[in-house]
């Protein structure tokens, strides 16, 4: 392969893999991106807000919001436990889904 063509391919590949700035601290998964595309923005915002109120907790004490864990309350409605691998302890175990009490207060002025 000529060196020129080789360099061109390398340039193309590195351009595709150039780091992109992450606007969201936690990138959306496929389900969440699909919802984002098909739902009106206000519905999507409501699902996102609701999913962030629910916490997924591991036995080791690690907790993150259902949204950050890649779920939505709509999909996981009625689920009290969720089999997930914990990023903290590395164990695949049943995580408890519970509503975050600290976020349960009504917004000011409501």
- 8 A C-beta contact, residue 82 and residue 97: yes
Three-state SS for 78-92 is CCCEEEEECCCCCCE
- 8 A C-beta contact, residue 82 and residue 68: no
Q: In this complex, which beta carbon is closest to Zn ion, that of residue 50 or of residue 68?
A: 68
Angle subtended at Cα 99 by Cα 103 and Cα 61, rounded to the nearest 5 degrees? 100
Q: In this complex, which beta carbon is closest to Zn ion, that of residue 76 or of residue 93?
A: 93
Q: In this complex, which beta carbon is closest to Zn ion, that of residue 35 or of residue 56?
A: 56
Q: How many CA atoms lie within 13 A of 15 on its CB side?
A: 6
Q: Under the rule (CB under 5 A), what is the footprint of Zn ion?
A: 58, 60, 62, 86, 88-89
User: Least distance to Zn ion from the beta carbon of 75, Å?
Assistant: 22
User: Least distance to Zn ion from the beta carbon of 15, Å?
Assistant: 38
Phi, psi angles (nearest 5°) of residue 55: -110, 140
User: Least distance to Zn ion from the beta carbon of 7, Å?
Assistant: 46
User: Least distance to Zn ion from the beta carbon of 54, Å?
Assistant: 17
Q: In this complex, which beta carbon is closest to Zn ion, that of residue 13 or of residue 60?
A: 60
């Amino acid at each position: 392969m000529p060196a020129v063509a080789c360099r061109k391919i390398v340039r193309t590949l590195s351009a595709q893999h150039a780091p992109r700035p992450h606007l969201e601290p936690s990138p959306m998964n496929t389900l969440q991106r699909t919802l984002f595309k098909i739902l009106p923005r206000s519905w999507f915002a409501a699902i996102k807000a609701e999913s962030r109120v629910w916490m997924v907790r591991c036995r080791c004490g690690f907790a993150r919001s259902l949204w950050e864990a890649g779920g939505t309350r709509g999909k996981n409605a009625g689920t009290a436990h969720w089999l997930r691998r914990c990023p903290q302890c590395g164990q695949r175990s049943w995580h408890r889904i519970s509503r975050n009490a600290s976020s349960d207060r009504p917004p000011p002025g409501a």
